[in-house]
Amino acid sequence: MSPEISSKPTRLCPTCGTRVASDATRCLVCGANIDIPVKSQTSARPVQGSRMPEITLSLPAILGFFTLFLAIGAGLVYFALKRTGAVVEPTVTPTITFTITPSITPTPVTPTVTNTPEPSPTPFSYQVAAGDTCSSIAYAFGISINSLVLLNNLPAACDTLYPGQPLLIPQPTPTITPMPTATLSAAEATEAACTKIDYTVQDNDTLSSISANYNVPIAVLKSYNGRVNDTVRTGETIIIPLCERFATPGPSPTPTLPPPYAAPNLLLPPDGEPYITSDQIITLQWAAIGTLRDNEAYQITIMDVTDGTSRKLIDYVTDTKYIVPASFRPGDTRPHVIRWWVNVARQSGTDDSGNHVWDNAGASSTPRDFIWIGVPSAATTPTP
């Protein structure tokens, strides 16, 4: 049986919490008195009329609307005045302005000449390489050996260089070319026509022998080649000014002959060398004294000392060797002492028969001897 659901209003006991009727004055469970609540009268609400809708705008929006209204109003006023003819547009009249360009008269200004000192050339450093000499370094840089020696405090012989040695190289002094003149003097014409040759130093050459061969003073050779001493080396190139061979400037009708040559140095055969076989070739050799001129040659003198001065041979060659002819071999079996020497001879002309005439042009070498045994005679058969 389902409980009956009362539709009457109820309330809770404030003491035990039991649900009782809303109009009960005592709780049936705990017996506590329950006060009946007094219904308060509903206060009357005041009558309020309808309100207008509110629109909230920000300050930038207000300024924007205000500017728009001003622009619209100004436009309406302008168009209204234009329709009534109150607005007259001004006529633009161009104004021509003449600009006078002043004529500038240039005033000549005298320039002030300022002397600017030219910087002095500064020496630069060079490191000596293997095989370098003072002459080769001076020739490579176009300077004189004397300037190289003075700048680096080197000895006069300039023979103390070693690989890796630092040297100061002076700047070459520029040579100012003189202005050409209308006429040249005899000395200037000779200098302009001066012929120079390059000579390669050979073995046993000295500056004195080169000077004697080409008839050029030693002082002139040293000046043209920038030398401070007389030392020359094999393979070195020396400039020889042929124009300095004349005693006076200008051509000479009679050429000056070179001084006598030095004595040649004999090489082979050794002194006292014996030659026994009948078919052996004997070659004489000696060292060159320099370059011979066209009319010069070596004079070879061969003499059989054993037979006296009756057997003597004189011949002329331009080479430094000579083969003794087989016709000069002794005709008997005795040992013959053959003596020989060499000197330079110069052709001075020809005789009535057309043979060359030779004059001695240098010192004779120290004589040498060799032993030459002649061809043995055929053996005779004894008669019994």
The neighbouring-strand residues paired with 167 are 126
Each residue's pLDDT tens digit, 83-125: 776 555 656 666 666 566 656 666 666 666 665 555 556 787 8
Say what the pLDDT of residue 250 is.
Answer: 47
Q: Can you tell me the distance from the alpha carbon of 251 to that of 194, in angstroms, rounded to the nearest whole number?
A: 11
Residues of the chain with pLDDT under 50: 1-2, 40-44, 248-251, 377-384
With residues binned 3-state (H G I as helix, E B as strand, rest as coil), the percentages for the chain, rounded to 5, are: 20, 20, 60
Say what the pLDDT of residue 380 is.
Answer: 42
The DSSP line for 100-162 is PPPPP-PPP--PPP---PPPPPPPEEEEPPTT--HHHHHHHHT--HHHHHHHHT--TT-----
Give the pairing type, strands 368-373 and 273-275.
parallel
Write down all domains in the chain, each with its CATH number in brackets: 124-169 (3.10.350.10), 192-245 (3.10.350.10), 266-373 (2.60.40.10)
Residues 6+ apart with CB under 8 A from 285: 266, 267, 268, 320, 321
Say what the pLDDT of residue 106 is.
Answer: 61
Helix (H, G, I), strand (E, B) or coil at 300: strand
Say what the pLDDT of residue 34 is.
Answer: 76
Say what the pLDDT of residue 300 is.
Answer: 93
60 residue type, one letter: P
Residues in the chain, overall count: 384
ω into residue 255 within 30 of 0, thus cis?
no
Q: Is pTM beyond 0.75 here?
A: no
Say what the pLDDT of residue 384 is.
Answer: 44
